[in-house]
A and B are shown apart, each in its own frame.
Chain A
Amino acid sequence: MSYIVSILELGGLNVLLALSVYATLKVGQFSLAQVGFWSIGAYGAGMLTTLYGVPLGPALLVCGAVCAVIGILLGYPCLRIKGIYLALATIAFSEVVRVFFHNFKHQVERAGKLVGPDASLGFRGIEVQTAWPQILVAVVVVVCVFAWIERSRLGLSANAVREDETAAACAGVNIVALKVGMFAFGAFVAGVGGGLYSTYISFVNSDNFGFHLALISIFFVSVGGTERFYGPVIGAMLLTALPEVLRFAGDFRMVVYGVIVLVLMLLFPRGLADEARARAVAWWQARQLRTVERSGP
C-alpha cells in the first residue's frame, strides 16, 4: 500500500513539473528552463527549511516567487526568440543553474552536524516534511488554476497566441504580458514543485537536474498531450508508473521504457489525451449525423 502511495506521490511531483512545462507551451513557447527552476526550488526550499527553520508553506511560496521573478527576467529577453532558439536558450539557462549548484557550497551547523549543499556531493539531510497530503494539495490547486485559465479569457488569448501570434496581436491580445506571465507562472509552479521534491526525497544533487530531466519533462507533456491541461497530468502519471510496471523487465527496464515512449509518440503524435479527445469528438459528430439522417424524411 505504501508502495502505491509513494508512486502516486512521485507521480504528483512529476505532474507539477509537467504542468510547468505546459504553462509555457500553452502560449506556443517550447522551454527547457523548467528544470533550472525546479532545481532552484529544490535547493532553495531545502535550505530555507533545514538550515533556517522556515516552515514548509512559506518556504515554498518564497521559492515559487523567486523563480517567478527569475522567470520574468529570463522570459522578457527571450521574447525575441522562439522555436528551436528558445529551446536552446532555455537549456542554456538550466545548465548554468546546474553548474552553479554543482559548485555551490553553503553549510551551517545544525545540532552538531554540518548540513547544507556541499558542491558536487549534493545536498544531504534535508528534513522530510512533504508527504502525500502536501503534494495532493499543491497538485489540486495548480490543476484548478489551469482549469480556470482554460475556461477564462486568458486561456482563449493563450490559444490564440499559440495558433497565430500576429492575428492575436491584431485582435488586441497583449502578447508580451501574456507570454512573460505564462513563463513566470510556469517558473512559479516549477519552483514550488522542486521545493516539494527536495523536502520529500531529502537528498538532491545538481547532477540529477540536467539535460536528461529536461527531456523527461518534455516526455511527460508530449506523451500526454499539449492542448489541454489534463494531457500533462495523464502523461506524468503514466510515465511515472511505467518503470514500476516494467519491473519484470529487470535491467532492460529503461530500454523498454524508451521504446514505449517512442511507440506512443509514433502512434499518437498529438499525445494520448488530445488524440482520445479528437476521436471522441469525431465519433460523437458521426453519431449526431446518423441521428439526423435517421430522423429525416
Chain B
Amino acid sequence: MALFEYLINGLLFGATYSLVAIGFTLIFGVLNRLNIAHGATIMVSAFAGAYVSLRFGGKASYGVLVAAFVVSIIVGALLGILVRTVAFAPLRNASPLAPFVTSAAVTLILEEAFVLISRRVPLFSPEFTQFPSPLENLVFFAGPVLIRGVYVVIFVVAVCLMALLHWWITWTRTGRAIRSVEENPTVSWLLGINVRRVEVTVFAVASAIAGAAGCLIGVAMGTVGPFMGANLLLTGFVIIVLAGLGSLRGAMICGLIVGVIEMTIVGLVSASMKEAVLFVILFAVLLVRPQGLFAGPEARRD
C-alpha cells in the first residue's frame, strides 16, 4: 500500500516538475540555448508569492493564496524578460558558452541577493521562509491511501496550465509563430515573423510558467529558500533530456514520470539517493537514446 501512496503522491507532485521543464524546453526550442537562470526565476517568484501570503495573512484565506499565485506569475514573466534582455539578447552572435555564463551569473546574483534579502527583510527567515497556505493540513484518504490535499490542488492547477499552454501553442497565431521559429528562425524571419518579439514572448511565457511552478512548489513544501532553484534546475535537466530537448508534450509526461520515480526512491530507499538515481537514468538515456524518449527520428543531437 505504501508503494501505491508513493506512486499517487509522486504523480501529483510531478506535475510541478512538468511545469518547470516546459518553461525550460520552450526557451531551448526557440533559442537553442539553456537558460540557467530558470531555476533562479522559480526561486524569486516563489519568494514573491510567499511575501504576499505572509504579508496579507495567507494562512486562512484562499483569496490571498490566489493573489500570491498571480503575483508569482507576474514576477516570473517580468524576470524572464529581464533575463533575456540582460543575458541573451546582447550575445546573439557569440559562442554558445557566453549566454550559458551570463545566465549562470544572473543565477549567482539572484541567489546571493535573496540570501541577503531573506536575512534582512523581517518577514522572511534566513534559511527557509514559511509559505503559509490554508491547504497545509488538508489530508484525505482514497480508500486506505493517504493523499495530501495540497498535492491534488497543485496537480489540478498545473494540468489546467499545461492544457492552456498546449491550446495556445497549437491554435493561436503566436503559437504557430513560436513553432515556426523553433523549426527555422531564418526562414521564419523571411516569412515576416518578428523573431525578436517571439523570443520576448517565449521568455515571458516560459518564465511565467516557472513562476507558477515556484508558487505551487512553495505551497506544497510550505517553505521557500534562496537555493531551491538549483535542485529544480537539475531536475529540469533530467526531464528535458528524457523528453528530448524541445519536446513540450514529452516534458509534460516526463515531469510526471520523474515525480513518481523520485517519490518512490525517497520512500523506499533514501532521500539522498534520489538525485543519483535520476542522474544515472539521465546518463543512460543520453547514451542509448540521445534524442529523448518522445522526439521523432529527425531530432538532432547537437
Q: Using Cβ atoms and an 8 Å threshold, which residues of chain A touch B283?
A: 89, 92-93, 96
CB proximity of A219 to chain B, nearest CB, Å: 6
Q: Are A265 and B272 in contact (CB under 8 A)?
A: no
Contact-residue bracket for chain B: 35 or more
* A85/B107 contact (C-beta < 8 A), A30-B97, A92-B283, A261-B101 known: no
Contact-residue bracket for chain A: 35 or more
B125-165 interface code vs A (CB 8 A; 1 in, 0 out): 00000000000000000000000000000000000000000
Question: Can you list 18 residue pairs at the A/B interface with Cβ under 8 Å?
Answer: A30-B96, A85-B290, A91-B234, A92-B280, A93-B279, A215-B36, A222-B97, A252-B116, A254-B112, A255-B112, A257-B112, A258-B109, A259-B109, A261-B108, A262-B105, A262-B106, A265-B91, A269-B91
How far apart are the CA atoms of A78 and B104 in the complex, in Å? Answer: 24
A99-117 interface code vs B (CB 8 A; 1 in, 0 out): 1101100000000000000
Q: Are A80 and B280 in contact (CB under 8 A)?
A: no
Q: Across the A-B interface, how many residue pairs have beta carbons closer than 8 Å?
A: 131
Is B122 in contact with chain A by the CB < 8 A criterion? no
A255 touches which of B28, B109, B245 (Cβ 8 Å): B109
Please, which residue of chain A has its CB at the minimum distance from the CB of B286? A89
Q: Are A95 and B286 in contact (CB under 8 A)?
A: no
A95 touches which of B101, B109, B276 (Cβ 8 Å): B276
How far apart are the CA atoms of A251 and B116 in the complex, in Å? Answer: 7
Is B297 in contact with chain A by the CB < 8 A criterion? no
Q: Are A255 and B91 in contact (CB under 8 A)?
A: no
Please, which residue of chain B has its CB at the minimum distance from the CB of A253? B112
Q: Are A85 and B302 in contact (CB under 8 A)?
A: yes
* A218/B230 contact (C-beta < 8 A), A89-B286, A102-B272 known: no
How far apart are the CA atoms of A186 and B221 in the complex, in Å? Answer: 40
Q: Using Cβ atoms and an 8 Å threshold, which residues of chain B touch A222?
A: 97-98, 100-101
Please, which residue of chain A has its CB at the minimum distance from the CB of B39? A211
